[in-house]
Amino acid sequence: MTRRGNARQFLLACDPERLMYLDLLRQYVKLHPLLLLGYCLMSNQVHLSAIATHARRAGWAASGRPKNLFAGTLASA
């Protein structure tokens, strides 16, 4: 997963902000079925490598095939 700042604006401008982000991420991982494999924090973007550990929440259809969780949200006009 990638999260970027709009127009390359800073998301995490300083160490206290990065530490706060990591603390919130740690809390989220404890609350939800998510296996965090790795992360990369930069000033204007965040990269997360994660696996949803519960199939239904991961967006898998009953047939066992993946479905697009972002269907329709990223389509161009």
Q: Is the pLDDT of residue 22 over 80?
A: yes
Distance CA(34)–CA(51), nearest Å, equals 6
Is 68 part of a structural domain of the chain? no
pLDDT at position 74 is 47
Domain that holds residue 41: 2-52
Number of compact structural domains in the chain: 1
Calpha distance 42→17 (Å, rounded): 11
CA distance 18 to 24: 10
The whole-number pLDDT of residue 76 equals: 45
The position carrying tokens 């973007």 is 45
CA distances in angstroms from 66 to 1, 13, 31, 47, listed in the order given: 16, 36, 23, 21
Would you say residue 72 lies in a domain? no
Q: What's residue 7's pLDDT?
A: 83
Choice among 7-11, 12-16, 36-40 with the minimum mean pLDDT: 7-11
pLDDT in tens, 35-74: 899 999 988 889 999 888 775 544 554 555 555 554 544 4
Residue type, 71: A
